[in-house]
Amino acid sequence: MTLPSILADLVEWIEAHGTTVDLLKWAVVGIVAWALGVFRFLKAKLKRPKLEIEALTSRCIWQELGVVDETDHNARVIFLIEAGINNPTTDPMVVRDFTLKVRRLKRWLVRNHVLNAVTLPSRVRHNIGDITRLLKNWFSNFAEGPDTLTLGARIEPRDCQSGFLLFVSVSWGYMRPHIKNGAVPVKLYARLTTGETLVARSNIVLMDDHAAFEAMVPGVLAHVENRSTWNIIRAQA
């Protein structure tokens, strides 16, 4: 049987079974549409909110405190973290809080407490010559700058927000932060009202110039002298 004869027989069969062919055609169209719909649904579900640490703008400084609460060799490390959350979903999301876990000198057989964010003393800023640009921060309100610079807990669908947070660690001994290549390894957590927790990792560059750090957040050095801003880490094995 040659190819032309096969094609001729196929044409005759299609002409004789028009109704069946139409049903098969629409069945195929339906299956393809269903498969595409399932693919789009799964793609949307796999798109989850993402937490990021902006490593280029996040910084920390180290201060030796000496004796605190009858323990010597305490270190106070002040972290200024720019945290960004991307919400690619079609639902709004609400952030309950942010916490920071700092890598310590001893990682095994010790309980490493997370740091809670504390209120900034002023808006974070970027200075270039005589020009000052005020930057966004999470939750804290200030008189300087428009209210849009303060980020709230709610993040709208398909939106991304990024702002600064302040964490202060005071610890001694093996619980002092670990420094690796001039930076402190950290994990940032964002807890959502849905019960989900977003996690981001980064190495926060350690600044030696405390005056430059103060210029980024005016009043921060005096602000952290208040013990109410401290996350005091004491547990040791």
Give the pLDDT confidence score for residue 237 in this predicted structure.
Answer: 45
Parallel/antiparallel/unpaired status of strands 159-172 and 231-233: parallel
Give the pLDDT confidence score for residue 32 in this predicted structure.
Answer: 65
Give the pLDDT confidence score for residue 232 in this predicted structure.
Answer: 86
Parallel/antiparallel/unpaired status of strands 154-155 and 159-172: unpaired
Q: Which two tokens stand for residue 19?
A: 């109704």
pLDDT means per 10 residues in the chain (237 residues)? 58 61 65 64 70 97 92 94 96 96 84 92 93 95 93 95 97 92 97 96 97 97 96 70
Question: How is the chain split into domains, by residue range?
Answer: 3-46, 50-233
Compute the Cα dihedral for 37, 43, 46, 49 and give only its sign: negative
Give the pLDDT confidence score for residue 166 in this predicted structure.
Answer: 98
Parallel/antiparallel/unpaired status of strands 71-87 and 159-172: antiparallel
Is pTM beyond 0.85 here? Answer: no
Give the pLDDT confidence score for residue 106 in this predicted structure.
Answer: 82
What are the C-alpha distances in Å from 56 to residues 53, 74, 165, 205, 206?
9, 28, 15, 9, 12
